Amino acid sequence: MSNAILFISYKLKKGSSVQEFLDATEKLNNQVVSKKKGYVSWQQLKDGDTWVDMLTFETMDDAKEFEKSGGDKNPLADKFYSFINFPSCTTRYYSIEGCYASML
């Protein structure tokens, strides 16, 4: 079975500090998200004012279960979500069908 990607695009609320947002993301990842079943990695991408969270899980079921949990309500998740402009959010799931990387 191939790995799965939870792909969430969004914008930050106006006036948000990017550094504070990244700090909140790192804490949430290290203390909560990385401990979830099937977690592989979390990459954050940015193009202009659009951000993407690309979370990789071992299976599609793991990705969907994580998304259903909403990151579990806790102070670290609340801090992370406080930066997000929720009307701008879109969520998609993808299965990884090929992966190519440099061997350097």
User: How many domains does the structure of the chain reveal?
Assistant: 1
Domain that holds residue 8: 4-95
Closest CA to 33 of 82, 76, 79: 76
* pLDDT given at position 68: 87
User: Along the 104 residues of the chain, how does pLDDT read in single tens digits?
Assistant: 689 999 999 999 999 999 999 999 999 999 999 999 999 999 999 999 999 999 999 999 999 999 888 656 789 999 999 999 999 999 999 999 988 888 76
Ramachandran category for residue 77: left, alpha or beta (phi over 0 → left; psi -120 to 50 → alpha): alpha
Residue 47: other Cβ atoms inside 10 A: 8
What are the C-alpha distances in Å from 41 to residues 1, 11, 61?
17, 21, 16
What's the CATH number where 77 sits? 3.30.70.100
- Classify residue 22: in a domain, yes or no: yes
What DSSP letter does each residue of 23-78 carry, written as one string? HHHHHHHHHTGGGSTTEEEEEEEEETTEEEEEEEESSHHHHHHHHHHTT-SSHHHH
- Classify residue 101: in a domain, yes or no: no
SS3 44: strand
- Classify residue 36: in a domain, yes or no: yes
